[in-house]
Structure 1
Amino acid sequence: MYRRMKSVWFWAAIITIMAMLAGCSSGNGDMSKSNSGSAANESAMSEQMSNTAATAADSGESEKADAESPADLKGGTDQAAGGGFASETASGTEGFKQKIIYTAALSMEVDDLAAAATSLRNVIHQNGGYILQFQDTRHDGEIGASYTIKVPAAGFMSFIDRVEQIDHREFERNIGGKDVSEEYVDLESRLKARLLVEERLLSMMDKAVKADDLLKFSQQLSEVQEDIERIKGRIRYLDNNVSFSTVELRMYQTDQSIKQAGIDNPHLGGRMSDALAGSTKVVLDGLKLLLVILAGALPVAVLLAVIAVPAVWLLRRKRRVIVGQQKLPEEEQQPPTL
C-alpha cells in the first residue's frame, strides 16, 4: 500500500513538472512573437521617418537652389547684400545671408536745372537704375525737381559719387541702411512650415470620404495658401529692396529773374492777398498809434485830474455857501404868517 501511494505521488509530481514546463514554453513563444511584432513596427516607423526626412531634405535643397539662383543672376548674394556700401561687413559675415536695405536722401542746388537733369538721366542709365517717381516744382524765385530713383545695390555708392560730380553749388546727402536679415530668416521658416501644412492638408483631402471633411479641409487649405502667398509677397518685396536701393533726390535752381518777374506781374490771387495784407496793416498801424497817444497822454491826464478834482470841489462848495446866504435875507423880509 505504501509503495502504491509512493508511485502515485511520484507520477503526479512528474505530470505537474511537465505542465509547468509546457506553460513556460508557450509564454516564451508569445513573448517572442510580441517582441518580433513590435520590432517590425519600429522598423517600419523608422523607415517611414527616414523617408520623410529624405523628402524634406530634398525639398529644402531644391528651395535653397531656387533661392540662390536669382542671386547668382543678379551678380551674387554678397553684392546684393552689401550694396557696394559695406562690402567689408558683408565679407565678415560669410555663410550668412545678410539682407540690408540702403536708402539715401540727396539735395543739390545747380546753376542750370535742365543740363543737370540731362546729366542725371545719363548717370541713372549708366548705373542700370530707373526713375520710380518724378515731380516738378516751381516757387517764387526757385524751380526744381524731385526724383525717386532705384539703383542696383552693388553700385549704390558709385551712383552717389557720380551724382556728386554733376555741376552744382551745394550738395547734401544723408545715407542710411536697414538690416532685414532677421525678418527674412523668419519669413523663410514660416514659409517652410506653411508649405508642410499645405502638403498634409492635400494628402488628407485625397483620403477624405465625407463631404464635411472635404469642406473643412478645403477651408483650412485656402487659409494656409493665403498665408503662403502673403509670405512670398513679403519676401519678394524684401528681395527687390535689397537688390535695388532707393535714392530720394531734390534738385533745384534759384533764379532771381523769376522772382523779380513774379513781383512785377503778380497774379490775381497775389494782388488780392496784397490788398488784404495792406488794409490789415493800416488798421493795425492806426490801433498802434492810438495806443501810443493814450499812453503818452496818461501822465498829463493824471496830473490834470489831481488839480481839477479839488478845484471843482472847492468851487461847488463856495457856490453852495453863496446860495445859502442869498436865501436868508429873503426869508427875513417876508411877514410872519398867522
Structure 2
Amino acid sequence: MMIRTLITSLLVFVLFACGGSSMESAESMPSSYGEADMKMADDYDMAAPQAAEDPMPSPEAMPQREAKIIYTAGARARVENLDTALVKVADLVNKSGGYIASQHRRNNNYEHTAEMQIRLPAEALGATLEFLPSISVQIDFQNLDSRDVTEEWLDLESRLQTKRDVRDRYIEILRNRAQKVEDILNAEEKIRVITEEIEAKEGRLRYLRDQVSMSTFILELYETQEYRETGDTYRRSFGSQVLAALSDGWRIVKELVLMVITIWPLLIIGGLGVWWYRRRKRK
C-alpha cells in the first residue's frame, strides 16, 4: 500500500513538472518572434528612405535620341505663266533659307517646261508643298519619301569615338614608349591607317548631316502652248545638189587612190604571180 502511494506521488510530480516546462516555452516563443519582427521592421524602415531617395527612372524620364530622317519630295504641276511661277518659287526658296541646286528649261510645240532641284531646310519642306497649289492650275503628281538613318548615324558616332580613342593611344605610345625605329614606324603606320578611316567616316557623317538638315525637292513646272506648225524645211536648189554630187564623186576618187596606195604589196605579189603563170604556160 505504501509503495502504491509513492508511485502515485511520483507520477503526479512528473505531470506537474512537464506542464510547467511547456508553459515556460510557450511564454518564451512570443518574445522571440516579437524581437525578430521588430528587427525586420527596423530594417524595412531603414531601407524605405533609401528607396525613396533613389527611385527607378521612368521611360518618359530617360533621354531620347532625336530621329535622323532624310526627306525627299517630288512634284509636277501645270502653271498659267511659267516665268511668273519661277519667280515666286525662287522667292519662297530664298525666304526659307534654301537654294536652287539646278534648273533646266526646255520648249516644244506643246509646252514650256522648267525642272528644278531645290534644297530646303527640312522644317520648311512642308510649307513649300503647301505653297505649290497656290501657283498651280493643275498638279499632276506630288510625293514625299522619307528614310530613317538614325541607326547608321549612331553607329558612325560610336565607331568614330572608338577609333579616336585608339588613335590617341597610339599617339601616346609614339610619344612616350616607342624607343626603336621599328616601333616608331609601326606606330606611325597604325596612326595613318586609323586617321584615314576616321576621315572616311567623318565624311559619311557630314553627308548624312547635310541630307538630314536639307531636304531635296524635285519640282517640274510646265506651261501649255497652243500647237503651232513649224515652217517649211529648207530645200536645196538644183545647182547646190550638182555641186554636192561633184564633191561626193571627188571624195570617192580620193578614197580609191588611197586604197590602191594602201594595198600596193598585194598588187606587186599579184603581178608576179600572173607573170610566172604566163611564162610557165608558154613553156
TM-score w.r.t. the length of structure 1 is 0.49
User: Hey, what's the Cα distance between the residues in 1 that align with 2:147 and 2:233?
Assistant: 47
Change (3 A) 1:122 1:267: farther
Structure 1 residue matching 2:135: 3-state secondary structure: coil
RMSD (Å) for aligned C-alpha atoms: 2.0
Residue 70 of structure 2: aligned partner: 101
Q: Which residue among 116, 125, 130 is the counterpart of 1:156?
A: 125
Gaps of 5+ in 1: 1-90, 269-338
Shift of 1:267: 7.1
User: Do the aligned residues in 1 keep the contact of 2:105 with 2:114 (CA within 8 Å)?
Assistant: yes
User: Do the aligned residues in 2 keep the contact of 1:164 with 1:171 (CA within 8 Å)?
Assistant: no
- Post-superposition Cα deviations, 1:32-69, rounded to whole Å, max 9, x if no partner, equal xxxxxxxxxxxxxxxxxxxxxxxxxxxxxxxxxxxxxx
Q: Which residue among 130, 147, 154 is the counterpart of 2:116?
A: 147
Q: Which residue among 157, 174, 177 is the counterpart of 2:143?
A: 174
Structure 1 residue matching 2:228: 3-state secondary structure: helix
User: Do the aligned residues in 1 keep the contact of 2:78 with 2:136 (CA within 8 Å)?
Assistant: no
Structure 2 residue matching 1:164: 3-state secondary structure: helix
Shift of 1:138: 2.1
Residue 84 of structure 1: aligned partner: none
Structure 2 residue matching 1:208: 3-state secondary structure: coil
Q: Which residue among 260, 266, 270 is the counterpart of 2:228?
A: 260
Q: Is 2:92 the counterpart of 1:123? A: yes
User: Do the aligned residues in 2 keep the contact of 1:116 with 1:166 (CA within 8 Å)?
Assistant: yes
Structure 2 residue matching 1:260: 3-state secondary structure: coil
User: Hey, what's the Cα distance between the residues in 1 that align with 2:233 and 2:79?
Assistant: 26
User: Do the aligned residues in 1 keep the contact of 2:75 with 2:139 (CA within 8 Å)?
Assistant: no
User: Hey, what's the Cα distance between the residues in 2 that align with 1:183 and 1:267?
Assistant: 61
TM-score w.r.t. the length of structure 2 is 0.58
- Post-superposition Cα deviations, 1:2-36, rounded to whole Å, max 9, x if no partner, equal xxxxxxxxxxxxxxxxxxxxxxxxxxxxxxxxxxx
User: Hey, what's the Cα distance between the residues in 2 that align with 1:218 and 1:166?
Assistant: 61
Residue 209 of structure 2: aligned partner: 239
Equivalent position amino acid for 2:89 in 1: L
Q: Is 2:156 the counterpart of 1:187? A: yes
Shift of 1:94: 6.6
Shift of 1:171: 4.2
Q: Which residue among 140, 165, 185 is the counterpart of 1:196?
A: 165
Equivalent position amino acid for 1:230 in 2: A
Equivalent position amino acid for 1:133 in 2: S
- Post-superposition Cα deviations, 1:96-132, rounded to whole Å, max 9, x if no partner, equal 2200000101101112111111111111122121111
User: Hey, what's the Cα distance between the residues in 2 that align with 1:202 and 1:266?
Assistant: 76
Change (3 A) 1:101 1:266: farther
Q: Which residue among 193, 206, 219 is the counterpart of 1:223?
A: 193
Structure with more of its chain in helix, by fraction:
1
Q: Which residue among 137, 140, 145 is the counterpart of 2:106?
A: 137
**Which structure's relative contact order is higher, taking Cα pairs within 8 Å and 6+ residues apart?**
2
User: Hey, what's the Cα distance between the residues in 2 that align with 1:192 and 1:113?
Assistant: 51
User: Hey, what's the Cα distance between the residues in 1 that align with 2:88 and 2:185?
Assistant: 61
Shift of 1:190: 0.6
Gaps of 5+ in 2: 1-59, 236-283
Change (3 A) 1:159 1:170: closer
- How high is the sequence identity, in percent, across the aligned residues? 29
User: Do the aligned residues in 2 keep the contact of 1:101 with 1:177 (CA within 8 Å)?
Assistant: yes
User: Do the aligned residues in 1 keep the contact of 2:106 with 2:114 (CA within 8 Å)?
Assistant: yes
Structure 1 residue matching 2:137: 3-state secondary structure: coil
Shift of 1:260: 1.2
Matched residue count: 174
Shift of 1:224: 0.4
